[in-house]
Chain A
Amino acid sequence: QKEVEQNSGPLSVPEGAIASLNCTYSDRGSQSFFWYRQYSGKSPELIMFIYSNGDKEDGRFTAQLNKASQYVSLLIRDSQPSDSATYLCAVTTASGTYKYIFGTGTRLKVLA
């Protein structure tokens, strides 16, 4: 079983819709959770991080964490074509403070 799993996509949504990106992780003791956006040919860019169960909102982005279900998601409201990118979920392990495990990413396409 992969440590951090994401659906590779592509996930296609129309402009203005809500895009929902999901991530599951296997280490129950994982502590911190991050969402990165990566445009083609560019480096990963941090969008949000979340540590506690529940929702965290930042502009059009909402991260949701459910540690009991080992599940973290990212909602993008009012999706724009400029949101089209690969979204990477990253988790820090419980065993150490310096290791971040990335998922394989979900490719999002927002259709104009």
Chain B
Amino acid sequence: DTAVSQTPKYLVTQMGNDKSIKCEQNLGHDTMYWYKQDSKKFLKIMFSYNNKELIINETVPNRFSPKSPDKAHLNLHINSLELGDSAVYFCASSFGGRSSYEQYFGPGTRLTVT
């Protein structure tokens, strides 16, 4: 069984459109994350949710809106897509409450904005 899954795997869309990426984990973790990895492979945290509560919002444009309906799911909705949004978006999960817990990543969603 896949531990952290994301859909879709690939997303090609035009500027100005709105799109969503979904993430689910079956590891029983209580904390989930969204990361953006740009063309230079730099992995930067965007959001973190613990028990459905937003914990981290790293100065991400408000065109990006995460939603966590429950501990096992974290979705990312992006409005008015821009060329600079093209990247690979990774979802991850871990146990929260202590900084020592390791994170597990989903397979990524490659977003291409044309």
Between B44, B45, B100, the greatest number of chain A beta carbons within 10 A of the residue's beta carbon is seen for B100
Are B96 and A105 closer than 8 Å at their CB atoms? no
Is B105 a contact partner of A45 (Cβ separation < 8 A)?
A: yes
Q: Name the residue on A nearest B107 (C-beta).
A: A43
Q: Which one, B43, B48, B106, contacts A88 given CB within 8 A?
A: B43
Cβ of A95 to closest chain B Cβ, rounded Å: 10
Find chain A residues with CB under 8 A from B97 CB.
97
Whether B104 and A104, one on each chain, are in contact in the complex, defined by CB atoms closer than 8 angstroms, is: no
A92 and B9 alpha carbons, distance in the complex (Å): 28
- Nearest residue (CB) in A for B98 is A97
Binary contact readout B31-56 vs A (1 if CB under 8 angstroms, 0 otherwise)? 10100000011111100101000011
With A88-B43, A98-B31, A98-B55 already in contact, the answer to whether A32 and B99 are too (CB < 8 A) is: yes
Could you tell me if A96 and B43 are in contact, using CB atoms closer than 8 angstroms?
no
CB within 8 Å of B: which A14-48 residues: 31-32, 34, 38, 42-46
A44 touches B43 (CB 8 A): yes
B45 contacts A34, C-beta separation under 8 Å? no
Chain B residues, Cβ within 8 Å of A31: 99-100
B102 A49 Cβ-Cβ under 8 A:
yes
Is A98's CB under 8 angstroms from B90's CB?
no
The 8 A CB mask of A74-105 against B (1 = contact, 0 = none) is 00000000000010101011101111111011
Cβ-based interface call for B26 (8 A): no
**Partner-A contacts on B (CB < 8 A):** 31, 33, 40-45, 48, 50, 55-56, 90, 96-108
Not counting A34-B102, A45-B105, a sample of 16 additional A-B residue pairs whose C-beta atoms are within 8 angstroms of each other reads A42-B108, A44-B90, A46-B102, A46-B104, A49-B100, A49-B102, A86-B41, A88-B43, A92-B99, A93-B99, A94-B99, A97-B98, A99-B56, A102-B42, A105-B41, A105-B43
